[in-house]
Every structure is written in C-alpha cells, then in structure tokens.
Structure 1
C-alpha cells in the first residue's frame, strides 16, 4: 500500500478520510463515523475535536450520497488510537509516514511555474464544471427558473381552458381540476412532489412536458361543455 494513497491535501492541509481509514483498517465505515460523532458530541474538549474533523460526502458505486469525515493528523490519532494488533500498528506507521511526507511537501512548496499555474487552473475549471453539474443534478429550481416555469404552466392552463375570459377558466372548479390534472401528470413523469423541487438539469424537459401536455379526455369534455354554454351575464 503506497503512503500517498492514505493522505491527501485539502485546503492546504494533510488529511485523510473516515472512508479511507475504515478501508485500510478493515472496519465498518459506520463504526468509524460513530466513533467520530461520539468525539464531536462529547462535552469535554468538543471544540478541540471540531478542529480535527470536517464533514463531507461521498458517492457509492450506485451514485448514492453518504456522509463521511475529513480528519487531520490529530483526528486520525484519536480515531486510530483504539485500533490494536500488529497489523493495525503497521498501518498506523504507514499513516504517520504518509502524514509526514505530505506535510513536508506542503512546507517545501515552491512558487508554481507558469505551465504549472496553467495546469492547476485547468484542473480547477474541470473541478468547477463537475461541481456545477453535481449541483444541477441535485438542486431544485432557483427563483428565476421557478418563476419562468410557473408562467409557462399558467399560460398552458389558460390556453387549454380557452382563454382567460372563457367559461371554463372562470369556473373555479374546472380551473382547479385542470391544474390538478397537470400536476398529477407532472408528478408521475418527474417523480417530484413539488414543482420547485425539480432538479435544474430537468428544466428543459419540464418545459417541453408543459408545452406538450393536454388534459385527459373526460376533462377535455368538461371544458368543452363549459365553454359551449352561454356566458353568464
């Protein structure tokens, strides 16, 4: 096992993760997480522990997101202290060596050359692009997009009911039933319980959905019957 796999650089600090510690020492990750949570929740020295651990997340092979912790050398020492046995001691020594190497590397860092700066910036953009994609995959609609979607939805309702002055639109019962029918189709299509919870990446699909939606047959008949009646004076 190579030492550089054990420790990474994050925010200019040598750290490891609860996930990596669990993997290296053959522990269940949930047990390592519990040990860290117990430290953080203990009244004694809790402020000191909080400087040793920072919460983060990781994705499993199926793309599901789970919590983990980043920890510095002190945090690792606290967690690994209870791991016993010759094999555990061997891994502790490897970790200590890895922390030493990474911290030495951080201390000796020289100003980057221009090609190195360009390379670092390029990597930063790649990371930013990945972060933006991740946000779009998970985040609900921001205010401007939610407003745009609402306008599109309302315009569609007005259209299928025959305009704002139509009998069907003026009939609150028919109008409410049409809104409910649209939402029911939306929920079935996008598996969302609220319009604004729609992931940003699906916004264009949702707009296409609204544009192509029409009421079910029975409701269409009800709308036509309402509009066929003489306007109530």
Structure 2
C-alpha cells in the first residue's frame, strides 16, 4: 500500500478521516458520521479526535477529523471483512514506524545540541550569559511598564482578586457583549468548538487550565430531568479572554470608564 497512511501533527503520529475513507472504500461523510456517533467519553474524544478542515476540488472548505492511533482503533473497530482487516494491519505497522521515526529524530536532535569540544562549550556559555543578561534587561523594562500601567489595570486586578470560576455570560457582560457573541468570537479565533451542545476548547488550549466543566441539571418540557455539561472559565481563562479581546480592540467597560475620566488635555501634555 503506497499511500501515506500516517503523518505527524503536533509531534504525534496521526491519520485523518479523508485517508480512512479512501483506504477503507467508504464515503467521507459516512466516516464523519461514524466519528460523531462514537459513544466515547468527552475526554477521550477531545484528546484523540481533533476537528479540522480541508479545501475540496470546488475550492470549498470542508470538515475533517485528525485522529490518534487510539482514536483510529476505536473508529475502525466496527469495520469488518477480509480487506478491512488487511487495512487495519497496515495502519498498525505505519503507526509503529512513525513512532520509531519520531523517537529516533528526538534522540538525534538532543545529541546534536551537545557541544563537541571545549571551544564549543565556551561559545555556548557566552551565548547563554548574553541571553541571561537580555532576559534581565527585558525583566526590568517589563517591571517599569507594569509600574507605569498600574493605575489602569483595574479590570485585571479584579480578575486576579477572584478565585471562583465564572460562566461565559458573566465575562461577556464585563465587555458589554452577550454570551452568544463572546462564544462566537472565541470560535472565530480558533479557541473553542461545540460538542453535544457544550463549548469545548481545541486541543492546543485544553491543558492550559482555562476552563472547568460543570454539571448542570435541567427539566425537560415533559417533566423528565436531564444533565448537561457546561463550560465555566477559571480566572486564568478570564485573563486569556481579556488579552484576546484587547487585541481585537474590545476594552472592558470598567477600563473604558477610567480612560474617560483620566483624559489629559493636549495642551497640558505639550507643556
């Protein structure tokens, strides 16, 4: 089988739904449906299936999934037949080869960084000292910037003073936004996507400590009770959202009010 079955993404061997569909002779939309209908835990899904996209021949952006070896194994568990078994074996071999390639590459990269002579070691030491000096200079400059900006950090101070998690609607209110609009902004910026009615973070942000899933009970129209997971944001997550919105030019209401009341006349500044 000459087709590339496994490739590297974020230092992990993965495959994708397009390749699985082609190799197993299935329609891609059917493979996407199989993935979405897997009855696995949210934790497993977020770790082993990553929603992505590709551009088709009509130049349209279409959805696809990247998946780890564990995700692939769970997906194709129900694919039966002699040919399906042959494809599974080929995939297992390719995943193993890719893991070994990554391992050897990592070892080579680490060993190539070691100095090979006394002169190289001295040069490396000089570079490290220069880096440390630059870091110290950057630290002092940053401390000065923080000192100058201290009177303006009212909203950030408020965030740091709190230890509780908050829902997205509460955060949005601080900026004069609706929870729906803020969720949309986070989705547009590639921070989160929706799974079974819950907003969850993309894999690059999952281990940052930005969110906490909270179980919420609700009553259906027929009187039955249900349970749904709701994403709440930690104070670290609020700071992340604050930085993201600041880059968009969206300022917290508290900071807007302070800016309005501390404007210095142009003539005074010139003097």
Pair in the same fold by TM > 0.5: no
Structure whose alpha-carbon radius of gyration is higher: 1
TM range (shorter): 0.3 to 0.5
Determine which structure has the larger helix proportion and give its number. Answer: 1
| TM-score normalised by structure 2 residue count | 0.39
Higher percent of residues as strand: 2
Q: Answer 1 or 2: higher relative contact order, Cα 8 Å, separation at least 6.
A: 1
